[in-house]
Amino acid sequence: MTADIIDGKAFAAGLRNKVAGHVARLVADHGITPGLAVVLVGDDPASDVYVRSKGRMTKAAGMLSVEHRLPADTTQDDLLALVARLNADRAIHGILVQLPLPKGIDEARVLATILPAKDVDGFHISNVGLLAVGQRAMVPCTPLGCILMLREHLGDLSGLDAVVIGRSNIVGKPMAQLLLGENCTVTLAHSRTRDLAGVVRRADIVVAAVGRPCMVTADWIKPGATVIDVGINRTDAGLVGDVDFAGVAAVAGAITPVPGGVGPMTIACLLANTVTACCRANG
């Protein structure tokens, strides 16, 4: 068997197009331009690439993009003051503080300061709680992108066995909540899970978000399963995911590539969340 390749790049381009159409109507009919502020503290090269890319795509969708680049020695108080200004700024509908933050800054405190209604990352505990109880939340972008691709590829996910590998707050935990919301039977596996290969082998849907290059191999995969690879690992061989793509593609029913799978969907979902935040702010 050779798996279908789930083309995240094409899917993300379609979603960005839809977002741009929505933005154009907001501007033309209501004179409202959705605005996204991205805050980057320090000079981590990978974060710099992401932030640039977010800014470019935000503008390409017709939205207002504001970037705040602060030095690595920025104090927590200065960062909190900036977040407070952005909270009060009526032109800004979404705020994203790029993670990780430099040592010495309390990440949880910063995330808790962002107004939940402007929290387009979905990391504020209010949004985490709303997602957990199945109420209207801002949903974290990477898991949202994964669920959109799964729905597009599989249709109804009801009753399917889903295994999420990795229990991060950014991906693993919200991914598990979203799959539960789709009526999957969900296992949230992690580094201490016993017989991880055996657990994954039961899954109709596998979401790998561990940050270990090529950890998930073909012998872990039930034939025909759908495999979503969230990993982005820089190795000597270039960018690779958490899934051994060549091996797993021979067994799975469908698989996302790295690059060109989940990655492009994350930014497209950030734009979609910003438009959602803007619409909610304007009734």
166 is in an annotated binding site: yes
CB of 194 to ligand GUN, least distance (A): 29
**Between 127 and 142, whose beta carbon lies closer to ligand GUN?**
142
Is 181 one of the annotated binding-site residues?
Answer: no
Catalytic residues: 54, 98, 121
Distance spanning both ends of the chain, measured CA to CA: 49
- Rounded to a whole number of angstroms, the minimum distance from the CB of residue 122 to ligand GUN is 9
Question: Is there a binding annotation on residue 90?
Answer: no
Nearer to ligand GUN, 170 or 214 (CB): 170
Least distance in angstroms from the C-beta of 210 to ligand GUN: 15
63-102 footprint of ligand GUN as x/- string (CB under 6 A): ---------------------------------xxxx---
Q: Please give the structure tokens belonging to residue 145.
A: 């992108």
> If DSSP codes are grouped into helix, strand and coil, which group holds residue 175?
helix
Q: What is the sign, positive or negative, of the torsion defined by CA atoms of 249, 157, 201, 146?
A: positive
Which has the closest alpha carbon to 207: 167, 240, 246? 167
Any idea which residue has 């309390």 for tokens?
106
Pairing mode of beta strands 64-70, 233-235: unpaired
Q: Quick check: helix, strand or coil at residue 163?
A: strand
Residue 168 labelled as part of a binding site: yes
> Max Cα separation, the chain?
56
| Interface with ligand GUN: number of residues (CB under 6 A) | 8
Q: Which parts are annotated binding residues?
A: 166-168, 232
Numbered residues of the known binding site for NADP(+): 166-168, 232
**Residues near ligand GUN, by CB under 6 A:** 96-99, 121, 141-142, 170
